[in-house]
Structure 1
Amino acid sequence: MRLQYQLNAAFTLLLLVIMAITGFVIYSLILNLLIQDEQRQLEQKGEILVNVLDDAFISRGNLKEFNEFLKEQDLQLFLYDREQNSVLFSTLPTPVVTGLFMNNDFKNQSEELWSYGNEKYVTSRILIVPKSLGLELILLTPLQDLRIVQHNFIQRLLIVFLIGAIVASGLSYFLTKKLVTPLSRLKLQLKKIEKRNFDEIVPIESSGEINEVAQSVYEMADELQRYINTQRSFFQNASHELKTPLMTIQGYAEGIKEKVFNQQEEEKGLEVIVSEVNRLKKIINEMILLAKLESEEITYHTERIELQNLIDKVIERAIPIATEKNLELKHRIEPNIFIVGDEERLLRAMLNLTFNGIRHGNSTLLITGSLKRGQITITIEDDGEGISEELLPHIFHRFVKGKNGETGLGLAISRAIIEQSNGKIKAENSNLGGAKFTLTFPFKE
């Protein structure tokens, strides 16, 4: 069953349950309310009758005149003598009077409903002043009259419920259709993603949580498309990076085998073969390391690392290369800053970034570390040529190399290590003129 029909069915069932419970409660309460209201009305009528009578008029000597007065009232009532426990007068037929008197206790003041046969009566009792007379006026209304009112009220209520149910069902259909339609359209976009037709994806009009889901789907599609393009580029670049040294090795090896080189050329060829083998070995090792980092196969030994000590180790390892290139290493690190991570992995990431800066810098490499607004910020910047605008968005992709780059995997490895350490890395151009890499880590006490 489609979602729209399921929502409509659920809403309609819920509405029917609520209406049934509401109707049952109202049906149960309405009769009690009608009885209470009828008793109040009978009491008011009885009090009016008693108040209009004169003290001289009401006496045991002139009951005949009093009875005549009561006959003129369009009411069902008794004139009851409490002292003698007898009915002195009634506007009801004699069989009904006899039946009521025989089946009910007239002396019981708390009995509000009297029964006779299949009929019940609502009663209201008013004591006639002066109390010494011992007379009581009892007014009655058949319960059947109230049931007729109850049934009429319930019929009208059912009509209202029916109209309300029709209107509510219409609104439910409209709202669920408005809710489900974007989901159906989003389903079509997901089918396009499944078939990798990323260029055919179009935004859908929606709001609320559905809009958030749709936005997440679009972002997922963009990321998936980027990933597929990156993988395609990776295989192309990897094949190129591996093919070039292999062809060089093959060429020299075949030349040496066929004795086409003299001794000096053979020695040079062997040196080239060894160099290319080492280069291949480095590329393969870095590819394996990057694959492990991205698949989380490497176990991280996290610990508290003082940033000053970490940078000192980076400087110690980078000084020989910087000195060889006549490049000055500068660093400004705030004290008492600690990073939680794997020291060996973080050291490798920092060295990759530092060697990259030394390779591209002209005279200066600056490393800074500070704590601001609850996060640790580390910058590594040089005064070289910087990063081109075309290369900047892809600088951390695998086999993406700038000028004088080596394997094109160093920055990708650095990013993987930093992200595994709950950090972030960003590349931009520095005020010094070269590249600037900014690393941020959460600060923990």
Structure 2
Amino acid sequence: MKLQSQLIAAFTALLIVIMAVVWYVIYSLILDLLIKDEQRQLEQTGELLVEILNEQYSISDMHQFYNVIDEQDLQMFMYDSRQNAVLFSTMPSEFVRGLYEKNDFSDQVQTIWDYENEKYVTSRILFLPETAGLELILLTPLDDIKEVQQNFFLRLFLIFIFGSMVAVIITYLLTKRLVTPLTRLKIQLKKIEKRKFDDLEYIEASGEIKEVADSVYEMADELRRYMNSQQVFFQNASHELKTPLMTIQGYAEGIKDGIFDEEETEKGLEVMVTEVNRLKAIINEMILLAKLDTEPTVYEPKIIKGRDLLNLIIDRTLPLVNEKGIALDTKAEDNITIYADEEKILRALLNVVINGIRHAKSIVTIQMFSEGNKHIIIIEDDGEGIPEELRPHIFHRFVKGKNGETGLGLAIARAIIEQSSGTISAGKSETGGARFIIQFPKRK
């Protein structure tokens, strides 16, 4: 069953349940209200009649008293509570006798009397003086009240039917407005499934559906970027692997065929070893990237002091710094702590620092400090900097700047830093070189 049909069915079922409950409650209350209203009218009529009789006639003049009562178009009794006897009635004597035998006339609490499967609403009014014990009892058949009740409920039923039809129509229109964007979004998801990103159409929606639609489009854009990056990755990877393999293959075939002399053969073997080491480095870094993406178990974080991490960086870069003849300037606050895998975060920072040392002219600076709810590491050099057109892609795989090696170092650094809940960005230093800003959230 479609979502729209389910919503309409659910709303209709809910409407029926609510109507049934309301119907039952109103049905129970309306009869009580009608009975009380009828008793109030009988009481008002009886009090008016008793007041007139008390003013114009005396109890001793019973004959004229009964004549006046008999002239009233009312169902009533003249009841003597002291003798527990009906003195006079406007109804047939057989009916009076049966009603008297069936019900307790002396019961002042009972207001509904039964006779021959019919019920009557009663109202009792005392004559003055009260010591006389005379009461005027007026009756109305309950069927008359139920007829009023039935007429009321017939109209109420028609109102409910009309209201239900209007409610169902409104529900249909509202659910259609709700479901239509979802249906169109489903079509867009099918396009994403078939990788038809250029055919995507933005749908008009509001509320949570708009948020879902925006998330779908963001997912599609991210998926498209990922697929493009994967395509570029495979193209670059094939190129990076193909070049050394062709070199190795050329020298191997030349040595095998005896084309090279002894000196050339020695040189060819050295080149082959160099290219094999280069291939090994590329493959190892590709394996590391794959593990970082697919195997979270290889990442074992712990709390690391920033100053300890900085000392490890200094120790490992010292030979390269001395070889290049540049200065390594470091500053670190004492309260810096990073929650990360020590070995991997050290490798990420070394990749960035070594990249700076390779391109620096005279100095590389490393700063560690806190700002707000973040720990920040800034690595700068005074080299030529990152070309403007290369900056958006500098962390992509196999993207190399001038004098770059495998093109995977910064990609590995970003993967490790992001796995440590951090971020890394590249920009231009005030000295003209590259500037890398790494941020980690403070651990609560």
TM-score by length of 2: 0.96
Superposition map of 1:28-427 within 5 A: 28-54=28-54, 57-59=57-59, 61-296=60-295, 298-427=297-426
Which moved further from structure 2: 325-334 or 241-250? Answer: 325-334
Distance 1:216 1:259 in 2: 63
Distance 1:383 1:137 in 2: 116
Distance 2:354 2:196 in 1: 41
Residue by residue over 1:413-442, the C-alpha shift from the partner in whole angstroms, topping out at 9 and shown as x without a partner, is: 111111222222222223332222222222
Q: Counterpart of 1:40 in 2: which secondary structure?
A: helix
Distance 1:214 1:304 in 2: 39
* Deviation (angstroms), 1:255: 2.2
- What residue in structure 2 maps to residue 4 of structure 1? 4
* Deviation (angstroms), 1:297: 5.2
State whether residues 80 and 138 of structure 1, in contact with CA within 8 Å, keep that contact through their aligned partners in structure 2.
yes
Q: Counterpart of 2:54 in 1: which secondary structure?
A: coil
Distance 2:387 2:91 in 1: 110
Does residue 443 in structure 1 map to residue 442 in structure 2?
yes
Percent sequence identity over aligned pairs: 61
Structure 2 residue runs of 5 or longer lacking an equivalent are: none
Q: Counterpart of 1:249 in 2: which secondary structure?
A: helix
Q: Counterpart of 1:402 in 2: which secondary structure?
A: coil
* Deviation (angstroms), 1:55: 5.5
Q: Which runs of 4+ in 1 moved over 4 A?
A: none
* Deviation (angstroms), 1:67: 2.0
Name the amino acid aligned to 1:396.
F
Which moved further from structure 2: 261-270 or 390-399? Answer: 261-270
Query: How much is the aligned-residue C-alpha RMSD, in angstroms?
Result: 1.6
TM-score by length of 1: 0.96
Name the amino acid aligned to 1:306.
K
Q: Counterpart of 1:54 in 2: which secondary structure?
A: helix
* Deviation (angstroms), 1:298: 4.6
Name the amino acid aligned to 2:12.
T
State whether residues 292 and 298 of structure 1, in contact with CA within 8 Å, keep that contact through their aligned partners in structure 2.
no
Residue by residue over 1:144-198, the C-alpha shift from the partner in whole angstroms, topping out at 9 and shown as x without a partner, is: 0110011011111110100110000000100110011001101111111111110
Name the amino acid aligned to 2:263.
Q
Distance 1:230 1:394 in 2: 10
Which moved further from structure 2: 127-136 or 368-377? Answer: 368-377
Which moved further from structure 2: 373-382 or 44-53? Answer: 44-53
Cα separation, partners in 2 of 1:56 and 1:197, compared to 1, 3 Å: closer
Cα separation, partners in 2 of 1:56 and 1:34, compared to 1, 3 Å: closer
Structure 1 residue runs of 5 or longer lacking an equivalent are: none
Which moved further from structure 2: 362-371 or 63-72? Answer: 63-72
State whether residues 290 and 413 of structure 1, in contact with CA within 8 Å, keep that contact through their aligned partners in structure 2.
yes
* Deviation (angstroms), 1:11: 1.2
Q: State how many pairs are aligned.
A: 444
Q: Counterpart of 2:110 in 1: which secondary structure?
A: coil
Distance 1:298 1:87 in 2: 100
